[in-house]
């Protein structure tokens, strides 16, 4: 975990500044590397599949690793809260069972793999450029296009993150009665469109995304909604979105663009909507962090958007004014989940 300093340690490190608190960041970096390797090796899945705790030697045998190397890794994972140790071997903690097993509905493994395999390697190349120049030398999406497999890892990561939020988001979304057609702009994995179609059997949805993304997710639409959900490949800034939609989702995409591009995108979406159609924007919003963790989360995503896309988080007042400029009215805002820092902004085509 997420190291959890005790009272005395918090006092010494944070209050009195009598010890080097940056050491905790060092442990955090090592912990992320170790958990990523454990996921790659299948260490957590092996322990989950075993009937009893496993020793390092037994685990090493299953994972084709060195017993001493594996013991050292496991001991660090114990200290970080991912494993517990007993006389007869290692076990998973509840945290690992809940958040890092493929069988769990809240499995974040693909999200961590997305960061380990793609986002942090991209930070290494582009963080300094983005800070010095104000943007990376190219966007992370262009970089995904350069190597087969990157889009799959990315969409699996986006899907894992979305699966933690999908119920809260879909509960909060307004789909007016009588709506039959929805477009999920930059919808990627399509999880939100799929869940909305499940709840609204008369709805059909088009998931619109870049060709590489669509190719990576095309086989992932569940059979139960296969006749309701289709994909369409293109660039939402320039390609035809179609028309006559009742609802348009723009989830986690406006942070990739500057204000002029976002206003132009809202205008294109307005053109694709039927009269009275709804636009629903989901994102992190400037000023939304109310706790220390959510404030740090917001600053973390802002730095990520700068580094990967040359963009940022926006205040919802700003987004409201672009929506008005693009021909939308009746703008409302609703928070999603207690800790996510996400909110939905909805508006109606005038
Ligand atoms: C952060 S992901 C969000 C995915 C999904 N909407 C969600 O909220 O989980 C951004 C998505 O926008 C897509 N995207 C980015 N630029 C695009 C463009 N110019 N045209 C179409 N899709 C784009 C990406 O491929 C990716 O699937």
A 10 A CB-CB count for 174 gives 13
Which pLDDT score is estimated for 1?
58
316 and 170 part of one domain: yes
Q: Per the structure, how many domains does the chain have? A: 2
270 and 186 part of one domain: yes
Tokens representing residue 279 in the block: 């636009």
If you measure from the C-alpha of residue 226 to the centroid of ligand 1, how many angstroms do you get, rounded to a whole number? 21
Query: Domain containing 51: what range?
Result: 7-99
If you measure from the C-alpha of residue 308 to the centroid of ligand 1, how many angstroms do you get, rounded to a whole number? 13
Is the beta carbon of 299 within 6 A of some atom in ligand 1? no
Residue 119 lies in a domain: no
Judged on CB neighbours under 10 Å (0-12, 13-18, 19+), 245 is buried
Supply the pTM of this predicted model.
0.93
If you measure from the C-alpha of residue 152 to the centroid of ligand 1, how many angstroms do you get, rounded to a whole number? 13
Residue 26 lies in a domain: yes
CATH code for the domain of 63: 1.10.10.10
From 158, 172, 211, 253, give the residue whose CB has the most ligand 1 atoms within 8 Å, as the site to mutate: 253
Which pLDDT score is estimated for 157?
97
Residue 124 lies in a domain: no
Is the beta carbon of 186 within 6 A of some atom in ligand 1? yes
Q: How far apart are CA 308 and CA 122, in angstroms?
A: 7
Which pLDDT score is estimated for 336?
87
If you measure from the C-alpha of residue 186 to the centroid of ligand 1, how many angstroms do you get, rounded to a whole number? 4
Is the beta carbon of 162 within 6 A of some atom in ligand 1? yes
β-sheet bridge partners, residue 248: 183, 279
If you measure from the C-alpha of residue 36 to the centroid of ligand 1, how many angstroms do you get, rounded to a whole number? 25
If you measure from the C-alpha of residue 155 to the centroid of ligand 1, how many angstroms do you get, rounded to a whole number? 9
Counting from 1 in the atom list of ligand 1, the atom nearest the Cα of 235 is: 20
Q: How far apart are CA 110 and CA 157, in angstroms?
A: 5
Residue 201 lies in a domain: yes
Cβ contacts of 24 within 8 Å, gap of 6 or more: 3, 5, 13
Q: Is the dihedral of CA 344, 201, 157, 90 positive or negative?
A: positive
CATH code for the domain of 278: 3.40.50.150
> Of 51, 83, 99, which closes a domain?
99
199 and 331 part of one domain: yes
Is the beta carbon of 235 within 6 A of some atom in ligand 1? yes
Counting from 1 in the atom list of ligand 1, the atom nearest the Cα of 187 is: 6
> What are the φ and ψ backbone dihedral angles of 18, each rounded to 5 degrees?
-100, 5
171 and 256 part of one domain: yes
Q: How far apart are CA 311 and CA 258, in angstroms?
A: 6
For residue 69, what are the CA distances in angstroms to 59, 63, 74, 221? 11, 12, 9, 41
> Of 55, 73, 99, which closes a domain?
99
176 and 317 part of one domain: yes
Cβ contacts of 311 within 8 Å, gap of 6 or more: 255, 256, 257, 258, 305
Residue 345 lies in a domain: yes
Which pLDDT score is estimated for 288?
80
Which pLDDT score is estimated for 339?
67
Residue 143 lies in a domain: no
Residue 153 lies in a domain: no
173 and 277 part of one domain: yes
> Tens of pLDDT along the chain (350 residues)?
567 899 999 999 999 999 999 999 999 999 999 999 999 999 999 999 999 999 999 999 999 999 999 999 999 999 999 999 988 899 999 999 999 999 999 999 999 999 999 999 999 999 999 999 999 999 999 999 999 999 999 999 999 999 999 999 999 998 988 889 999 999 999 999 999 999 999 999 999 999 999 988 878 889 999 999 999 999 999 999 999 999 999 999 999 999 999 999 999 999 999 999 999 999 999 888 778 888 888 999 999 999 999 999 999 999 999 999 999 999 999 988 766 778 999 999 99
Counting from 1 in the atom list of ligand 1, the atom nearest the Cα of 237 is: 19
If you measure from the C-alpha of residue 317 to the centroid of ligand 1, how many angstroms do you get, rounded to a whole number? 23
329 and 209 part of one domain: yes
Phi-psi category of residue 179: left, alpha or beta, with phi > 0 → left and psi -120 to 50 → alpha: beta
319 and 176 part of one domain: yes
Is the beta carbon of 212 within 6 A of some atom in ligand 1? no
205 and 328 part of one domain: yes
If you measure from the C-alpha of residue 338 to the centroid of ligand 1, how many angstroms do you get, rounded to a whole number? 24
Residue 200 lies in a domain: yes
215 and 318 part of one domain: yes
82 and 196 part of one domain: no
Is the beta carbon of 157 within 6 A of some atom in ligand 1? no
> Of 99, 120, 136, which closes a domain?
99
342 and 199 part of one domain: yes
């Amino acid at each position: 975990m997420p190291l959890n300093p005790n009272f005395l340690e918090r006092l010494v490190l944070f209050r009195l500044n009598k010890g080097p608190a940056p050491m905790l960041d060092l442990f955090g970096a090592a912990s992320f590397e170790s958990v990523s390797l454990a996921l790659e090796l299948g260490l957590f899945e092996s322990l989950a599949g075993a009937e009893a705790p496993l020793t390092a030697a037994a685990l090493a045998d299953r994972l084709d690793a060195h017993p001493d190397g594996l013991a050292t890794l496991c001991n660090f994972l114990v200290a970080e809260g991912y494993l517990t140790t007993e006389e007869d071997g290692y076990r998973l903690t509840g945290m690992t069972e809940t958040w890092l097993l493929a069988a769990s509905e809240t499995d974040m493994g693909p999200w961590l793999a997305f960061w380990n395999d793609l986002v942090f390697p991209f930070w290494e190349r582009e963080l300094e450029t983005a800070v010095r120049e104000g943007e990376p030398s190219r966007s992370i999406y262009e970089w995904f296009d350069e190597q087969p497999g990157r889009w799959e890892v990315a969409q699996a990561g986006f899907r894992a993150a979305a699966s933690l939020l999908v119920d809260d988001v879909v509960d909060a979304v307004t789909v007016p009665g009588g709506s039959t057609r929805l477009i999920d702009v930059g919808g990627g994995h399509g999880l939100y469109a799929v869940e909305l179609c499940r709840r609204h059997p008369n709805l059909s949805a088009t998931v619109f995304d870049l060709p590489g993304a669509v190719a990576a997710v095309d086989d992932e639409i569940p059979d139960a909604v296969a006749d309701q959900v289709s994909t369409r490949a293109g660039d939402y800034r320039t390609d035809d979105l179609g028309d006559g939609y009742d609802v348009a989702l723009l989830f986690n995409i406006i942070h990739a663009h500057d204000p002029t591009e976002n206003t132009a995108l809202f205008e294109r979406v307005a053109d694709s909507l039927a009269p009275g159609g709804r636009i629903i924007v989901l994102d992190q919003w400037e000023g939304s962090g109310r706790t220390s963790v959510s404030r740090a989360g917001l600053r973390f995503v802002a730095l990520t958007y700068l580094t990967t896309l040359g963009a940022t988080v926006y205040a919802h007042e700003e987004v409201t004014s672009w929506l008005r400029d693009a021909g939308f009215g009746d703008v409302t805002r609703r928070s999603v989940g207690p800790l996510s820092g996400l909110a939905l902004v909805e508006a109606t085509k005038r």
